[in-house]
Structure 1
Amino acid sequence: MNVFPWDEAAATGIGSHPGEDHAEAVRIVFGETPALPYLPELPARGVGADMIGRAASLLVELAVEVQPSGWRFTDRPGRDAKRARDHLLRDLDGLEEAAQGYEGPFKIQVCGPWTLAGAVELRHGDRTLADPGAVRDLVASYAEGLALHLAEVRKRVPGATEIVVQLDEPGLPGVLAGTVPTASGFGRLRAVEAPVAAERLRSVLPDAAFPVVHCCAPGVPLRVLREAGVKGVSLDASLLRRRDEDAIGESVEAGTAFLLGVVPGADAPLPDVGEVARPAVELWRRLGFPSATLASQVVLTPACGLAGASPAYARAALAKCRESARVLREDPGE
């Protein structure tokens, strides 16, 4: 019995798409990744459609606005925060129309709390990450806002059998390593201890969803994510090194799903399906796991978001992931 929300041989996208036509992006998503469609994000629409702005607009009782240096907390929401909220509401309206009659799992994405804390500045100009008390407040607000967002998505997609919530945390390795620059750029913020990072992540994960963390940076902290209660990890397969495989093996044994990025996120030649699926097949073989579990525990994706790709390539990349995922069901260990 499959314990994951999706059927075997599934593919999906990371989240971002090129262009400004959200209705077209939604149609592509449902057409090319029917096993695990998602709410696409279109950052080309400008401020408020970006990853940080969208997540900040979900915060409850914490107002933000855009300053020359980026997003910053303020006394009352600025026009850019309103623009971010308007983008999201229009996207949800379009999703509701496109999802009519759909039944199955559905994925949403939002910038994770640690990456958000490393990007949004406090009123006096330092990064939120520099102040543990401010991080605590952000995390509490974020958890409440994410729960409200999840409830809204459930209303818009009533046929969703389960919601996969993907937290985008490209900044998490730097948070743990102490390499996030200060607002001035002249120093580095103190590293966050792994137990603290895990606890804060755990506190925002919705109970009524399947939580996944996406990190397209090297050195994905798999043990921290597992301690946080994350059930799936999305990463770029090309960044994996042999030294990562012990931690991957531990996660696989613990039942963690892997959303493996196997095609480039920007325009590039797309190889045949066997070549695209090869990183997943060979990883499973090296780790010694039964091939029968590969097609259910692994989902194929682009390596990262598709915002920098051409529209034609974005569609082709998703189609290639969908077609290649079938290879995972062909008993590759034999």
Structure 2
Amino acid sequence: MSTENQTQPSTFKPSPGAATGVGSMPGGDAREAARTAVGTVEALPFLPELPARGPGADMIGRTLGMLVELYARVEPSGWRFADRPGRDTRRARSWMGEDLDALEEFTQGYAGPLKVQVVGPWTLAACVELRGGESALGDPGACRDLTASLAEGLRLHVDEVRRRVPGAEVVLQLDEPSLTAVLRGQVRTASGYRTYRTVDRAVVEGALREVIEAVRTPVIAHSCAPDVPFALLRRSGVTGVSFDFALLTEREWDAVGEAVEGGVKLLAGVVPGTDADSGTDSRALSDPAGSVSGVRSLWRRLGLAPGTLAESVVVTPACGLAGASPAYARAALAHCAKAARTLVDDPE
């Protein structure tokens, strides 16, 4: 697919030394989560997700609740399309309303970038079932309908966030942890014995671009899986890529460098996502500069100007914090903010 004459959304311009969360937080208290997400990473606050509340608060159900004229319900095997909105859809929408109420409370008078997270079209297609029990990913028509419904739903969601937080410069994060598996034909069918065929890269780009153009706001893509397709995401029009920095391999360096030179921001996950992941390493949350030392090394290897580091990189946890203790989640976000600040104070 040609990339000429693409509609490019407004650029994501975080302040130098910004940090943020990936999205999910522990527990079920929307007000406490919003207080932490707004007060701890002040340069780029985010709308928390609280999957511990159950179906409809998980990232898939939460996003399905935003669809327009498509509905889903919970089955023993997972989320499945339904003919009409039921209690699962109502529950997802109710929890979203609760989360937005809490966000609105703690962002009174706020002006600046504000990140909200949803599941992207390809991970959603891989995770929601058609009525026969197979993934929507196996039906190109279902994928097109899902993308169109998602694009319209996200446009309305972004408008709602702007209404509630008038000073917000909304940044939309598309969570696509299954994207690499979709591109490689590694998503398994319901039986588990086969995999769905590889989706053409032009089709993947087209669906992402459809969503990006619909929302008319900066879009970043997130994946905490290995082998993030940086080049494809850049061509699709994202203005930032969020990833687990520890999973980055040398063969991806050139794609990362090209993305940065093309104006794409890197949301580098460098802080362990749970207490268990931090293990016995006392430096995990005690050495802010050490947490971003790998990012500095990569910058030098790519030959990028040191002065652009702080404005090109946002520091985040490696993935969501839903599996962490509340105390660790707060400490991890605070540590991200301190680590990001070292990129400003000492750019070399």
1:331 to 1:22, Cα distance in 2 relative to 1, 3 A: same
2:301 is the alignment partner of 1:286 = yes
Say if 2:82 is the partner of 1:74.
yes
Give 3-state SS (helix, strand or coil) of 1:139's partner.
helix
The one-letter amino acid paired with 2:308 is: T
Q: Deviations over 1:12-66 (max 9, x none)?
A: 0000000011100111111110000010000000111000000101111011111
Normalising by structure 1, we get a TM-score of: 0.97
Secondary structure of the equivalent of 1:234? strand
State the partner residue of 1:191: 198
Report if the CA contact (8 A) 2:154-2:215 is conserved.
no
Distance in 1 (CA, whole Å) between partners of 2:336 and 2:89 is 34
Look up the SS of the partner of 2:129 in the other structure. coil
- d(CA) in 2 for partners of 1:312 and 1:67? 34
**Does the 8 A contact of 1:60 with 1:144 survive in 2?**
yes
Distance (whole Å) between structure 2 residues aligned to residue 127 and residue 31 of structure 1: 39
Correspondent of 2:210 among 200, 203, 207: 203
1:327 alignment partner in structure 2: 342
Show the counterpart of 1:59: 67
SS in 2 for 1:312: helix
Matched to 2:324, the amino acid is: A
What are the Cα deviations for residues 165-208 of structure 1, in whole angstroms up to 9, with x where unaligned? Answer: 00000000000000000022111000111111011100001453
Q: Structure 2 counterpart of 1:122, which letter?
A: L
Q: Secondary structure at the match of 1:233?
A: strand
Q: Distance in 1 between matches of 2:163 and 2:241?
A: 26
Residues 309, 343 of structure 2: 8 Å contact kept: yes
Whole-angstrom CA distance in 2 between matches of 1:279 and 1:156: 38
Question: CA separation in 1, counterparts of 2:315 and 2:294?
Answer: 10
> Residue 119 of structure 1 aligns with which residue?
127
CA contact (8 A) 1:164 1:209 kept: yes
User: 1:266 and 2:274 equivalent?
Assistant: yes
State the 1:5 CA deviation: 2.6
- In the other structure, the counterpart of 1:170 is 177
In structure 1, what is the equivalent of residue 314 of structure 2? 299
- Is the Cα contact below 8 Å between 1:265 and 1:302 reproduced in 2? yes
Counterpart position of 1:110: 118
SS in 2 for 1:94: helix
Relative to 1, partners in 2 of residues 1:85 and 1:207: Cα closer, same or farther, differing over 3 Å?
A: closer
- After superposition, residues 1-334 of structure 1 pair within 5 angstroms as 4-160=12-168, 162-205=169-212, 206-267=214-275, 268=278, 269-333=284-348
**What root-mean-square deviation, in Å, do the aligned CA atoms of Structure 1 and Structure 2 show?**
1.0
* DSSP-derived class of the 1:10 partner: coil
Specify the code of the residue in structure 2 equivalent to 1:310.
S
Q: Which amino acid aligns with 2:253?
A: E
Once the two structures are superposed, residues 284-310 of structure 1 have per-residue CA deviations (whole angstroms, 9 ceiling, x without a partner) of 111111111111110000000000000
Provide TM-score, normalisation by structure 2: 0.93
CA shift digits 1:59-92 (9 cap, x unpaired): 1101111111111011112211111111001111
Unaligned residue ranges in structure 1 (runs of 5+): none
Output the CA distance in 2 between the equivalents of 1:252 and 1:59: 32
CA contact under 8 A between 1:195 and 1:224: conserved in structure 2?
A: no
